[in-house]
Structure 1
Amino acid sequence: MSKYEPLWKHLQANESETLKLTYDDIKAVLGFDIDHSFLTCKKEAAQFGYRVGKISMKEKHVTFHKEEQL
């Protein structure tokens, strides 16, 4: 199990087409701050129906987009 799985499950339960979460929102879900390993693990979101869009270091948020189901 990935340390980011609680975040992916949170996205899956939300079902929004686009979801913007602040770093603080993500910390509230995970219980820890995201780090550089997030960049490696972001592809895991696809297993839960989402892809990671923009990661803003300046504004401290991450945008997620729901993947289209075939």
Structure 2
Amino acid sequence: MSKYEPLWQIVAKDSRIAFKLTFEEIEAILGFPIDHAFLTYKKELKAYGYEVGKISMKEKHVNFKKM
């Protein structure tokens, strides 16, 4: 199981076509800060019908969108 599995499950349960979560919200879900490994693990989300869109380092949020 991926360390990002709790986040993927939350995203998969969301019915919106597109939405964003802040780094703070993601950290609250996961229990640890988002790190560089996220760029590798984000590919796993496709198995849940979503994909990671833009990641804003300036605004500290991640966009998710339904595939």
For this structure pair, what is the TM-score category when the shorter chain's length is used for normalisation?
Answer: over 0.9
SS of equivalent to 1:2: coil
Partners of 1:65 and 1:45 in 2: how far apart?
Answer: 10
The aligned residue for residue 6 of structure 1 is: 6
The aligned residue for residue 33 of structure 2 is: 33
Structure 2: give runs of 5+ residues left out of the alignment.
Answer: none
Cα shift at 1:30? 0.6
Cα shift at 1:16? 1.1
The aligned residue for residue 55 of structure 1 is: 55
Cα shift at 1:19? 1.2
Partners of 2:15 and 2:45 in 1: how far apart?
Answer: 13
The aligned residue for residue 22 of structure 1 is: 22
The aligned residue for residue 45 of structure 2 is: 45
Partners of 2:48 and 2:6 in 1: how far apart?
Answer: 11
Cα shift at 1:48? 0.8
Structure 1: give runs of 5+ residues left out of the alignment.
Answer: none
The amino acid of 2:54's aligned partner reads K
The amino acid of 1:66's aligned partner reads K
The TM-score, its normalising length taken from structure 1, stands at 0.92
The TM-score, its normalising length taken from structure 2, stands at 0.96
How many residues are treated as equivalent by the alignment? 67
Q: Percent identity?
A: 60
After superposition, the CA RMSD in angstroms is 0.6
